[in-house]
Structure 1
């Protein structure tokens, strides 16, 4: 039986979702693809659990939630983290789920490049290194002859990168327009349905855990702009970075503006546009009942093609297990190719 030895780097919501997803699906993967997934290390920002014979995925989740540190994993816990973990254990695949850093792209950039240099495949949910240094990172993967997958970096569980590349492979992609941030869509949906103010709705979203304690990346359009860059590079072949995107968030949207739009049959949504002429994230008016009329944390995108016309995809744009599902799909894709 072939093995795929995995390191999970970053053990917040997404990292824990990865562990849960592997626990739930490893028997199916073993049966269907003849490969046994084995988590040999997991690391948070200050500690890790490392075991060449394999760690129990659900035990990792339990320890992280009960103790707060992976070093509490009996007989396997260490105070090692980051790049040192990549040197401490034999592995085949890095599943990288550290927080997005739009200023320096770290630690994702260094972790990813080091894994490539070690000849290892990488699956990531991170947006920072892709938004700032897409060409450099993807070229490094190619130079080292390894697989690099990042479906989960755009839209969580919404299928778009692999779907467009594989299912729409006969088509030229002319543009992509959509809602790429679940937090802002939730806030605007609540403001529309309840007539509440931005400040009150944001506070409620934070209490529900939908918006972060520091919501800047979401509400100021930064997260959606990062995703715009990734789609521009990966699907339209546009050599762009974050600085090439025109960005406006939703913090200035008032309940009065939303009510005026509703009277005319429109909604206000944070829309990302990806095209050769325009890389932009900004609030826009969209028709009620159109494909852009989605509520809650849903993401959607309309892909305009030369042969197949317009195709719209939709899915949950956030969530621990939902995002992990996209990462595990990338893992399976690598298993099909290499194992």
Structure 2
């Protein structure tokens, strides 16, 4: 199987290193970053690309673009891992459309295109007989989409709720455990790389809301947008409120919820018992699906990180290879 990778930040590098180190029988024929691209249809020397990126900041030749990769490279699957734009989905949306229209499978970790245009992209994939996979868009390494679509097939899902954002969970954990202020915990999260320089999407609940939209539209068949989600973040939570909750053996977590009976989506801080299943610590995510047959099923794991996100991408890649024996 031949793949092309668009996006060579931490996630793209993680994917390339896994392919290089694990001997998966996958050939990388193209890699593109924001300023350059490398193409070799017989297979790139991944280590050489890493060295070039480290030395020059470029993965390949200046002037070659992701569009050139899609048009010129020989590949079966496009792995699209560029930064998310939740308002337009671009430029990733254009890359995904072009690849699907060219009869290429697509795997993405990019929440924007899936949240904004999933019905269109799914139709485009179906028309061209290819797969569109996006497990990495929700909860990192946790196979939440696969579990809901396949593992719980035949169940009526009544509710999906949980901790969808590791940055917020880390901040709340540190505020409760160490009595840090919100500002102190946020600064610590930034220094450790858990929070972006601009953490707005995370702390205001927008990131969790986008993930709810993706689950609602792809798993439940809704037609929701970010505007349909009731959102409140954690920026107004104080260490004092967490300490008061703790005196009653309670704590606070940012919980995203889909109420399937009412088709309601909301993200907001909730007071939970400390021994509640969803009270996970650090950057962990935890999601519970409430079903008619299986009861409550909870998945817990790492929701972010380059290797964790790459894990979900690789799982989708191997799924496509198994499903499509025609990919050499």
Return the TM-score normalized by structure 2.
Answer: 0.95
Structure 1 range deviating more: 7-16 or 235-244: 235-244
In the aligned structure 2, how far is the partner of 1:82 from the partner of 1:67?
19
Cα contact 2:35–2:62 (8 A) shared by 1:
no
Runs of 4+ residues over 4 Å off in structure 1: none
Q: 1:49 to 1:294 in 2, by over 3 A?
A: same
Q: What whole-Å deviation, never above 9, does each CA across 1:175-198 have from its counterpart, x for those lacking one?
A: 110101111111111111110011
Partner residue of 2:45?
Answer: 56
CA distance in structure 1 between the partners assigned to 2:311 and 2:55 by the alignment: 24
User: Is 1:147 the equivalent of 2:131?
Assistant: yes
Contact 2:12 2:81 survives alignment (8 Å)? yes
**Structure 1 equivalent of residue 11 of structure 2:** 14
SS of structure 1 residue aligned to 2:89: coil
CA-to-aligned-CA distance 1:152-180 (integer Å, 9 cap, x gap): 10000012101222221121222110101
Which of 103, 119, 123 is the matching residue for 1:119? Answer: 103
Paired with 2:251 and 2:125, the residues of 1 have a C-alpha distance of: 42
Q: How does 1:172-183 map to 2 (within 5 A)?
A: 172-183=156-167
| SS of corresponding position for 2:85 | coil
1:281 corresponds to 2:267: yes
Task: Note the residue ranges of structure 2 that are not aligned, 5 or more in a row.
Answer: none
Are 1:235 and 2:219 matched, yes or no? Answer: yes
1:58-97 matches, within 5 Å, as: 58-71=47-60, 77-97=61-81
Q: Which runs of 5+ in 1 are unaligned?
A: 30-35, 72-76
Shift of residue 199 of structure 1?
0.8
Please tell me whether the aligned partners of residues 174 and 236 of structure 1 are also in contact (alpha carbons under 8 angstroms): no
Q: Which residue of 2 aligns with 1:171?
A: 155
Which SS does the other structure have where 1:178 is aligned?
A: strand
- What's the RMSD between the two structures over aligned residues? 1.2
| Partners of 1:60 and 1:70 within 8 A in 2 | yes
In structure 1, the partner of 2:209 is 225
SS for the counterpart of 2:315 is helix
| Residue 320 in structure 1 maps to residue 306 in structure 2 | yes
- Describe how 1:181-220 pairs up with structure 2 within 5 A: 181-220=165-204
Does the 8 A contact of 1:183 with 1:210 survive in 2? yes
Distance 2:47 2:236 in 1: 42
Aligned-residue offset at 1:261: 1.2
Are residues 1:138 and 2:122 paired?
yes
- Select 1:306's aligned residue among 272, 289, 292: 292
C-alpha distance in structure 1 between counterparts of 2:104 and 2:216, whole Å: 26
Distance 1:83 1:188, change over 3 A: same
Partners of 1:179 and 1:270 within 8 A in 2: yes
Instruction: Evaluate the alpha carbon distance shift between residue 144 and residue 41 of structure 1 in structure 2; reply closer, same or farther with a 3 A threshold.
Output: same
Residues 146 and 288 of structure 1: CA distance in aligned 2, closer, same or farther (over 3 Å):
same
Asked if the contact 2:167/2:202 (under 8 Å) is kept, the reply is yes
Instruction: Report the alpha carbon displacement of residue 266 of structure 1 after superposing the two structures with TM.
Output: 1.3
* Cα deviation 1:106-133 (Å, max 9, x = unaligned): 1111011100100000011110011112
Q: Is the 8 A contact 1:96 1:126 kept in 2?
A: yes
